[in-house]
Amino acid sequence: MNITDIDDKILQKSKENRRDYRDLAEENFESFMSDMISLRILLPDFIGKVTDHIDMIGDYIRRIYSKGYAYISEETGDVNFDYDAFLADYNIQNEMNFGSGQISSKSFGKRSPKDFVLWKRSKTIDEPRWILKLENVSLEGRPGWHIECSAMINSIFGPKLDVHFGGFDLIFPHHHCEACCSHAFHFDPTDRGDLYSTSKIWLHSGHLIMRSEKMSKSLGNVISIKDFLKKYSPNILRLLCLRIHYRSGKIFEISVDFLFLTVCLCDRKSI
């Protein structure tokens, strides 16, 4: 399991709270692990943080760059994935319009709006930074989101996974861009395989709905694991999840009646 402990959101929160980003990331990581233990979930064999794999991610970017599928933006200094160059060589069907995401409208410094950042150049002196060397250029910055997952998967499992899991909202752009990175790194244009062959199974779950609204911090309707477990057992949460098949296409919705029936069901079944 990979842990993103450096990204724009973490840095923004760090700035707002005037806290070191490392302390903030560690606090959230410890809270997450505490929830995993409280839910009696078996921990993965490997837990890796992005900041512990920066050098390896840099090597991964260099290979993609050397194959001609990345470029240094003259305007921003970022290293971007060249989506059109990749698409032309690999003859892969353009599948940029599916899932719940959309193509970014932020195209400054990119050859195409479809390009995405592999290495984000530091813009201010107070941003955390690492060095990425490309040819004779040293770029101070940090990895982009999509390349992190692709590179860390490769370091542990190699070119293929058995199961890749995530929420429906990650299908695009995250998992699509991640698959592009993996394909560009591992395969040559002559291979021309399925873009998503980097995992045998891609499993995506629906959104969590509370009172007919998506559960989110912005709406103020989030129920934390800790608050849930003050009233219910971990098995109740398991059964809630199991009552809707992940391939049904339905959005996972919690209502008072649904929760009551689940509690009744759990009382007469052992899990």
pLDDT by residue, tens only, the chain of 271 residues: 999 999 999 999 999 999 999 999 999 999 999 999 999 999 999 999 999 999 999 999 999 999 999 999 999 999 999 999 999 898 776 454 455 555 666 689 999 999 999 999 998 888 999 999 998 999 999 999 999 999 999 999 999 999 999 888 899 999 999 999 999 999 888 776 788 888 999 988 877 777 677 777 778 888 899 998 998 888 888 887 777 776 655 555 666 676 777 777 777 654 4
Q: Judge residue 202's burial from the number of C-beta atoms within 10 Å of its C-beta, 0-12 exposed, 13-18 middle, 19 or more buried.
A: middle
149's tokens: 């997952």
Query: 3-class SS at 215?
Result: coil
Do 71 and 193 fall within a single domain? yes
The number of distinct structural domains making up the chain is 3
| pTM to 2 decimal places | 0.87
Do 249 and 135 fall within a single domain? no
Do 214 and 243 fall within a single domain? yes
Do 2 and 17 fall within a single domain? yes
Give me the pLDDT at residue 271, please: 45
CA distance 131 to 51: 12
What are the backbone angles phi and psi of residue 235, rounded to the nearest 5°?
-65, -30
Do 101 and 10 fall within a single domain? no
Burial readout 25-47 (b: 16 or more C-beta within 10 A, e: otherwise):
beeeeeeeeeeeeeeeeeeeeee
Do 146 and 223 fall within a single domain? no
Task: Show the domain range for 213.
Answer: 208-267
Query: Which residue bears the tokens 């692990």?
Result: 33
Among candidate residues 154, 171, 205, the one where a domain is terminated: 205
Tell which residue, 122, 148, 121, has the closest CA to residue 58. 148
Do 229 and 186 fall within a single domain? no
Do 127 and 228 fall within a single domain? no
Do 77 and 173 fall within a single domain? yes
Do 108 and 230 fall within a single domain? no
What CATH number has the domain bearing residue 158?
3.40.50.620
The CA distances from residue 230 to 38, 225, 226, in Å, are 11, 9, 7
Longest pairwise C-alpha distance within the chain:
67
Among candidate residues 158, 174, 205, the one where a domain is terminated: 205
Do 87 and 161 fall within a single domain? yes
Do 175 and 61 fall within a single domain? yes
Give me the pLDDT at residue 106, please: 66
